[in-house]
């Protein structure tokens, strides 16, 4: 009995936060590594390697001529959205030859961000198709590069033939608050979908 009385006055430890896994995908040089780095509260893990002459025939650098490195496995970061909600971010490699990694990275993912560059919109087709075929919800985030033309969200949606339920958001992958808005969109979309199924 004494133990019970003594325990009544103690505060219970806060429950562990819910951890959710999100993917960040898109074409080569679209800003995936930048996005993960901009928002991660830990030092992000990058698997960057220098672009070489040997890779020139297979790495299309048109539109990203200044790019000197590429992700060869993944990027990883973490952000706490609320005291009870932590997101683990996994950035996918952009080149075709590394797509075999996507299935492993996608396992257990709640949803995804598909990052797009309007100067090379066709580069995100493969990522859109990947998530649509696997019924993994995603938000399309248009990375607004300096000097790139800006298009209304409806025009981007039409150009990519996206389903009406796919959110399209303009963002700056360098800015933490902008990226957080994209991540919140993915989480809200997934929770709304789960609530609809349960309801």
The predicted-structure confidence for 145-181, as pLDDT tens digits, reads as follows: 988 889 999 999 999 999 999 999 999 999 999 999 9
141, exposed or middle or buried, with CB in 10 Å at 0-12, 13-18, 19+? buried
pLDDT for the residue 59: 52
CATH of the domain at 123: 3.40.50.300
Query: Would residue 9 count as lying in a domain?
Result: no
User: DSSP code of 199?
Assistant: -
- A 10 A CB-CB count for 194 gives 12
Query: Would residue 3 count as lying in a domain?
Result: no
Query: Would residue 98 count as lying in a domain?
Result: yes
Q: What is the CA angle 22-25-26, rounded to 5?
A: 160
50 confidence band (pLDDT: 50, 70, 90): low
pLDDT for the residue 10: 66
Pairing of strands 168-171, 138-143: parallel
Query: Would residue 6 count as lying in a domain?
Result: no
The total number of structural domains in the chain stands at 1
Is a pLDDT exceeding 80 seen at residue 123?
A: yes
Range of the domain at 62: 15-198
- Of 83, 87, 1, residue with least CA distance to 40: 87
Query: Would residue 43 count as lying in a domain?
Result: yes
Query: Would residue 2 count as lying in a domain?
Result: no
pTM: 0.78
């Amino acid at each position: 009995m004494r133990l019970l009385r003594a325990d009544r006055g103690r505060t219970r430890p806060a429950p562990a936060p819910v951890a959710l896994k999100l993917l960040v995908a898109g074409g080569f040089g679209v800003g995936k590594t930048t996005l993960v780095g901009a928002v991660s509260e830990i030092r992000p893990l990058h698997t960057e390697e220098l672009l070489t002459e040997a890779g020139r025939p297979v790495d299309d650098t048109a539109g990203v001529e200044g790019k000197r490195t590429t992700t060869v496995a993944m990027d990883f970061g973490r952000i706490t959205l609320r005291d009870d909600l932590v997101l683990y971010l996994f950035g996918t490699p952009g080149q075709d030859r590394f797509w075999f990694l996507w299935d492993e990275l996608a396992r257990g993912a709640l949803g995804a961000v598909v990052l797009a560059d309007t100067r090379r919109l066709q580069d995100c087709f493969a990522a859109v198709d990947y998530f649509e075929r696997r019924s993994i919800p995603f938000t399309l985030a248009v990375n607004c590069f300096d000097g790139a033309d800006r298009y209304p969200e409806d025009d981007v949606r039409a150009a990519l033939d996206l389903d009406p339920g796919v959110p399209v958001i303009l963002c700056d992958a360098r800015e933490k608050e902008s990226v957080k808005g994209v991540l919140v969109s993915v989480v809200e979309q997934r929770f709304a979908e789960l609530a609809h199924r349960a309801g």
